[in-house]
Amino acid sequence: MRHRYALAASTMLLTLAACTGSPEEKADPGSASPSVSSTPSEEAPPEWTGPTIPDGDYQQLLTPASLRNFGITQTPEEWAPDGTLTNMLRIAGPQWAQLANTNEDAMSVGSSGSLSYDQQGRLIEIEPCCGESRYTWRLDGDTLTIKPDLAWMRQNRPDVDLDSQDTRIWKMMCCGTWTKVG
């Protein structure tokens, strides 16, 4: 039952396809045959060169109040036998993982994938099974705050019900305030 949140969170991540250009044939004035250029038909967006989230483990404790704040209708006992869930975001270079445990159980991975930043500095998380999600974020000392970019979701996935229980669970597991612990 405790892994139900991971499946629900996984189902809500978004999928986007990237497009690349094709080579163009160009005539070289010094040659009798055309050459091939790998110049894409559209210029790639510039990479983010601003601040990024430092590598490490960021943790939050989810409680019955967390469920209520996110509008989750499950009871705390359904969520975690003792009513608390340790939720961790692990960032290591271009990779991320979300881990969780209840009681004294070992941390287990609920979701993982790659991460990068768009031209505006928004966090892009890509999960192999489900695709792309974007978040705004702020780091203040050891406190990391992550929020889903709902405007991006509405624009790119208008078919996703942002008020569903699955989406609320996704927001609770992936977002909120985290404290760096390692």
Q: Which of 115, 98, 130, 1 is nearest to 48 (CA)?
A: 115
161/74 Cα distance (integer angstroms): 18
How confident is the model over 48-80, as pLDDT tens digits?
Answer: 999 999 999 999 998 888 888 888 887 767 777
Q: Which of 113, 115, 111 is nearest to 94 (CA)?
A: 115
How confident is the model over 100-114, as pLDDT tens digits?
Answer: 887 667 888 988 999
**Domains of the chain as residue ranges with CATH:** 4-17+45-180 (2.40.128.50)
**Which residue in this structure is represented by tokens 């290591």?**
92
pTM: 0.71
Better-scored residue on pLDDT, 161 or 27:
161
The stretch 22-33 carries a mean pLDDT of 32
Amino acid symbol at 44? A
Percent of all residues in the chain with a pLDDT value above 70, rounded to a whole number = 74
Dihedral pair phi/psi, residue 80, rounded to 5°: -155, 130
Contact of 112 with 127, CB cutoff 8 Å: yes
Contact of 5 with 79, CB cutoff 8 Å: yes
Tokens describing residue 132: 């792309």
113/133 Cα distance (integer angstroms): 11
- For residue 13, is pLDDT > 50? no
